[in-house]
Amino acid sequence: MAALGRALRAVARHRVACADCKNGEFCPMGFELAERRAWTEQTREDVVRQQVRDEREEQAWESDRDRRSARRRASDWRRVEPAVRRTDRERAQRPADTDSPNTHTSVPLEPIHVSR
């Protein structure tokens, strides 16, 4: 953008100072400045198009990565789901004659003093 602004200002400054360019005719310098301005505009458009292509390519890559990651997570879950469900069922069962789900997880009601 800065280069295009400089090119436009150079053409404008030259047209104000040059009698031929004021009348709508190009002198050799005015013609060269106009060509450079057009080249700069085209280069800027090319850069913008390339940036758009790069952004789309990056978005496609990220989307593909996210899909692969989601498939991997789903596959991992399908692999461990039976064991998780079994563990949950076992955890929910309460042993006979206890209030806790497991006999080894009773919580003491009084402080325990550990001596060394």
HSE value, Cβ hemisphere, 13 Å, CA-based, for 110: 3
Residue 18: is it exposed, middle or buried by C-beta count within 10 angstroms (0-12/13-18/19+)? Answer: middle
pLDDT of residue 111: 79
* pLDDT reported for residue 114: 76
Give residue 63's pLDDT.
Answer: 95
Q: Output DSSP code: residue 93.
A: -
Say how far residue 100 (Cα) sits from the centre of its chain.
Answer: 48
Q: Looking at the whole model, is its pTM more than 0.85?
A: no
Tokens of 96: 């006979």
The pLDDT assigned to 100 comes to: 58
Backbone torsions φ then ψ of 109, nearest 5 degrees: -90, -20
pLDDT at residue 106, rounded to an integer: 65
Spans in the chain with pLDDT lower than 50: none
Whole-number pLDDT of residue 17: 80
